[in-house]
Amino acid sequence: MDKLAVELVTLIAYFACTDGGQTGAALSLVSKHIHHATRPARFYSVSLIHSAAQVEHFVQSYKAELDRSTDAVPRVRHLCLSFFGQSIDASASPPAAPAAPPAFKPPSTREEFLAQQQQRAQRMRATQTRMDDQYVRVVPELIRLVAPTLESFACAQAQWRSSAIIDVVFPCLGEMTLVGGDPAFLPFSMVSADRPRYPALRRLHHIPSLLNKQVDFFQWAVHAPNLTHLRVSRMGAHPEITVDTLVKVMGPNAPENVFPHMRQIVVQPQPSPPSAASGPPGAVERAFDALCDRLRVAVRGARVPTVLFKPMVVPEGTPATNPSKGCVRKLQNEWMTRIEGGEGCWNSVIGESTIDRCWRSPVMEVGLAQ
């Protein structure tokens, strides 16, 4: 490696630094020659999913590197960010909580299903409350540093109650995955319609959270005018604005300036609630069935090729005490797959395949626009 031209070593480093930062950090310690040659690629991909302290440490290191660099400045191209904090870090001490059951028991009744959903949301909210202020202090500076060069962004923000407002544009961002609704720290209201926040965005994957933050897809049409692929996973019946705007932008009567370059839409409902043991369906089941029926109708009349998958299935054995961990790990894995050139969640091919290999879920409805 010491005999190769610096330009070749740098190019090799870009192909190697796709794991969120570990390889880049390791290469910088090999030798002076490798440290210099791999410097531009050191922060090519960055994964910050453990804590606010990790975000702060990265910001300090990144700023120091920018100050030292006179040429071949290292830039962040791919970022995976989670606000779930130490619940993801296996080495961190978990907060005090009641002892968890030895195994997760899937709900067998409607009442158990609703109780588990409520308990999970309460645990997530209690854990996050202690970390809100820490993230507010470090995230704005991080986003301002990386926004000009970021090409892909995966963010699990869930219930983070951000009091920070960041007025930035992402001129190079081509792909984004959001868990938990729109980023609260990047409101569309702060950006004028003639200055889209995501002018280069092509692929958007929205995964709503248990707390059901609303998503207005007409706002996305304004601030991501060049979107070509849209996926909504874990789609629920509430809030209504999310369902309503999605159905309307899919429909043939959508205005011409709403996602004019759209090529494919993929939708997957949230896990279906257990049926009542006896008696007629309750309000939860009726709302879910109405959602699925409405999506079927919308897909059949969609103006672009659209796929509706069957509801997501929660794998057996999912730990009831830490539902965020598996979600963030899967988000990180999908993000890395895309950086390395894989299909990730975009491997559904309308008209050729009836199985989405990412979610292992059969197709429920396919709409092929004429």
How high is the pLDDT of residue 195?
A: 87
Average pLDDT on 13-17 reads 68
56 contact partners, CB below 8 Å, separation of at least 6:
137, 138
Q: pLDDT tier at 23 (50, 70, 90 boundaries)?
A: confident
How high is the pLDDT of residue 106?
A: 66
Count the domains in the chain: 1
How high is the pLDDT of residue 66?
A: 86
How high is the pLDDT of residue 131?
A: 64
Which one-letter amino acid corresponds to residue 305? P
pLDDT higher than 50, residue 97? no
DSSP state of 305: -
pLDDT tens digits, 207-255: 987 665 789 999 999 999 999 999 999 888 888 899 999 999 999 888 8
pLDDT higher than 90, residue 201? yes
Q: Which of 331, 358, 360, 332 is nearest to 345 (CA)?
A: 358
Q: Report, in angstroms and rounded to the nearest whole number, the Rg of the chain calculated over CA atoms.
A: 22
Q: pLDDT tier at 9 (50, 70, 90 boundaries)?
A: low
Instruction: For residues 152 and 172, give the distance between their C-alpha atoms in angstroms, rounded to a whole number.
Output: 9
Domain enclosing residue 149, as ranges: 100-338+356-367
How high is the pLDDT of residue 247?
A: 94
Q: pLDDT tier at 108 (50, 70, 90 boundaries)?
A: low
Instruction: For residues 270 and 327, give the distance between their C-alpha atoms in angstroms, rounded to a whole number.
Output: 14
pLDDT higher than 50, residue 32? yes
How high is the pLDDT of residue 359?
A: 38
Asked whether residue 28 is domain-assigned, the answer is no
Neighbours of 229 (CB within 10 A): 19
Using a pLDDT cut of 70, give the percent of the chain over it.
68
Asked whether residue 74 is domain-assigned, the answer is no
Q: Which of 87, 97, 42 is nearest to 66 (CA)?
A: 42
* Longest alpha-carbon distance in the chain: 77
Task: Quote the tokens at residue 84.
Answer: 């779930």
Asked whether residue 157 is domain-assigned, the answer is yes
Asked whether residue 94 is domain-assigned, the answer is no
Using a pLDDT cut of 90, give the percent of the chain over it.
28
Q: Which residue has the higher pLDDT, 13 or 265?
A: 265
Q: Which of 211-215, 349-353, 359-363 has the highest mean pLDDT?
A: 211-215
Q: Which of 68, 79, 77 is nearest to 36 (CA)?
A: 68
DSSP state of 351: T
pLDDT higher than 70, residue 319? no
Asked whether residue 37 is domain-assigned, the answer is no
Instruction: For residues 120 and 112, give the distance between their C-alpha atoms in angstroms, rounded to a whole number.
Output: 12
Asked whether residue 351 is domain-assigned, the answer is no
Count of residues in the chain: 370
Q: What is the pTM of this model?
A: 0.79
Instruction: For residues 189 and 199, give the distance between their C-alpha atoms in angstroms, rounded to a whole number.
Output: 16
pLDDT higher than 60, residue 92? no
DSSP state of 178: E
Asked whether residue 24 is domain-assigned, the answer is no
Cis peptide before 74 (omega within 30 of 0): no
Task: Quote the tokens at residue 103.
Answer: 């195994």
pLDDT higher than 60, residue 360? no
Q: pLDDT tier at 149 (50, 70, 90 boundaries)?
A: very high
Asked whether residue 276 is domain-assigned, the answer is yes
Task: Quote the tokens at residue 300.
Answer: 């059949």
How high is the pLDDT of residue 244?
A: 93
Q: Which of 328, 323, 334 is nearest to 51 (CA)?
A: 328
Given a contact cutoff of 8 angstroms between Cβ atoms, the answer to whether 313 and 368 are in contact is no
Q: What is the average pLDDT value for the chain, to the nearest integer?
A: 78
Task: Quote the tokens at residue 202.
Answer: 């092509």
18 contact partners, CB below 8 Å, separation of at least 6:
44, 45, 78, 336, 339, 340
How high is the pLDDT of residue 134?
A: 76
Q: Which of 171, 170, 176 is nearest to 338 (CA)?
A: 176
Task: Quote the tokens at residue 245.
Answer: 């705007």
pLDDT higher than 70, residue 98? no
